[in-house]
Amino acid sequence: MPSPVDDGELTPPPGTSAVAWTIAMAYLKARAAIDDLPPGTLDARKTTDLVLGADTACELDGRIIGKPASAADAANTLRAMRGRTQRVVTGVALVCPAHPRTRRLLVVDVAQVTFGALDGQAVDAYTATGQWQGKAGGYNLSERLADGWPIVVSGDPSTVVGLPAQRLGDWLSQAMAWGAA
């Protein structure tokens, strides 16, 4: 179920790292989802239930880049990324609804994304489609690669997409061990 937290309406405080921001947002999303569940959905004694929250942000020159607010913002962001490497950070929160304060796993994965020489016309054509909306950094990796954009990823591509699949199994195993405790 989608979380009622809209991270596009929030701005990181000055000096906040992308790691701290995405972990905080992931936890807020998970807690808000727990709080938004209809009464009787969860058994308060059950320690094997988990709610997962995730959030992704790009970081360029130490500045967090979230979801662009407009097409112009998306175009400027994408132009700034041309010929450069950015960090893409995805924070994940696994929270036990029965014990949300004590049984939570807050983790992060980071990938590096390098944009090659991207033509300004390609940026303009892309931003005109509106596909940048709701996406950290203003782009969807798989769509941009499919369109032939010169992008190289170092790390887990699913981290860039928004949920680090290569590490998720280990994190789930850690969190599921709470039920045995």
| CB distance 36 to 4 below 8 Å | yes
Q: Are 22 and 90 in contact (CB under 8 A)?
A: yes
43, 49, 55, 170: the active-site residue: 55
Cα 167 to Cα 32, 92, 119, 170, 174, distances in angstroms: 24, 10, 34, 6, 11
- Write the CA distances from 93 to 2, 35, 53, 86, 163, integer angstroms: 14, 15, 5, 23, 11
Q: Is 73 a catalytic residue?
A: no
The single-letter DSSP state of residue 127 is H
> What's the rounded Cα separation, in Å, for the pair 23 and 31?
12
Q: What gap in Å lies between CA 70 and CA 41, rounded to an integer? A: 38
Q: Which residues are catalytic?
A: 55
